[in-house]
Structure 1
Amino acid sequence: MSVDPRLAALSINHKTVDGWSMPELVDGVAAAGLQAIGTWREPVAEYGLDRAAKLVRDAGLRVTSHCRGGFLTATDPAARAAAIEDNRRAIDETATLGAPTLVIVAGGLPDGSRDLVGARERVADALAELAPYAGERGVRLALEALHPMYVADRAVISTLGQALDLAEPFPVEQVGVVVDTFHVWWDPEVWRSIDRAGDRIASFQVCDFLMPIPADVLLARGYMGDGVIDFPPFVAAVEAAGWRGEVEVEIFNADVWAEPKAQVVETVKQRYLAVVVPG
């Protein structure tokens, strides 16, 4: 198979082909001539962590990120302790898979709370506990800023600048940030923040922001080229900041999930070449 050399940097996140088992993901990505995947905890657990790590290794693939840790905003002491322990397990999983990065989604406001400042402080406190452990395991925590429409229920970190503020007290090899086009494309400070991030960039994810926004805002992601995001400036910005890693495509979209999975992978390849890294 003749493969465009630009595809060497393309990674398929498991959510993009939601419904594939771990073996189907690995076989499908390898059959498409690609070299990298992003994993999610649930399918890995279903297949078995050690088996999944061997499966990826034997196929000659690399794992670019493991998703997800986080949800660190609880006020109840027992819930907070459970979250810390679960994140430690996620860090261990990431290390076993040979992935460099565990994506961290901070968590939203606890039920009944309006204390956004306090929630962000609890994320910082949790990172102080988790970052040294991640460092010991050779894993970098990657803080992902989510679009502000998710601030109440999923992530009290809404901008790349906020993610960097939380990351900077920690060694760069322990805590970095995710640049996800879907979540940060709207931010007028994004270019300054990417430049500021430099080697804090631990993951670069792409997909498009669809209009009109679907009723389920979680599923507002689309193939690159189907929405409003201009991708080449993001590629140029992260490369100027020093990023030399993969470009991971992560799409949450019910229509995409209903398509034949091999077709989804081929569409992602075509759109990546035509829209994200044209020429």
Structure 2
Amino acid sequence: MSAIQPACLWVVATPIGHRDDLSARAIETLRAVAVIAAEDTRHSRPLLQHHNVATPLVALHEHNEREVVDAIVQRMQGGESVALISDAGTPLISDPGFRLVRAARAAGIRCIPVPGACAAIAALSVAGLPSDRFVFEGFLPSKAAARRSRLQELASETRTLIFYESSHRVAESLADMRDVFGAEREAVLARELTKMFETVLGEPLAELAAHVATDPDQQRGEHVIVVAGRGEEADAKLAEGRRIFAILREELPPAKAAKLAAAISGAPRKLLYQESGNGE
């Protein structure tokens, strides 16, 4: 790699688990910059020590980003080079750093990516689901009603969907996906990628939700959920479900009509019910 250029912001990807996934270029960059802006200095320090990186650290996280961005930009305007890292993976992908990159670009400072690990892309690469077109959704809302509402908005998405989820909500999120997307929708749970207890489970959502709900080990660690987009078969089921629901709705309450239409057609009951203008 050529010598570090002055007055640049280097956006450096770090490992999502295995320490040796830090690239040679990333190590050289982190050694050469004047300072490293890290999401959690306590978390990043062992990784940097493992690779003999002694560069000073400053904290830049979601709680202080607004306050420290100006100071970091001023350092770069003064000629210093700065590296931005997150706790794991590529900065800004469900991690802090957006305000710093935006401010640096607005100030005319060159921003240079040093690519590497990203949990979303790593999970997609081994999911065996269509990868030519996909949507990264990051974390779903933590509240159940808001989470289900967002999933309803995505129920008709034909592209592969990628989610991050925490250990204490993964079982609930998979159950909600099963209910909203349909029991037979293909999905993959990639857990603890590149770490000792890495697992990649691919099953229809009904089976995957049941598996995780009954296996506490699958509820530990960091999770990426990859869900197939709605296919032609699902479109046909939904169209038939809508047709049947419209007929039944003439004689039955919406909830009962949706339940029967879903049982007959295989279309998601909740989607039929909500499309009628009702909510749960």
TM-score by length of 1: 0.25
Higher Cα Rg: structure 1 or 2? 2
Tell me which of the two structures has the higher relative contact order, counting C-alpha pairs closer than 8 angstroms and 6 or more residues apart.
Answer: 1
The structure that is helix-richer by fraction is 1
TM-score (norm 2): 0.25
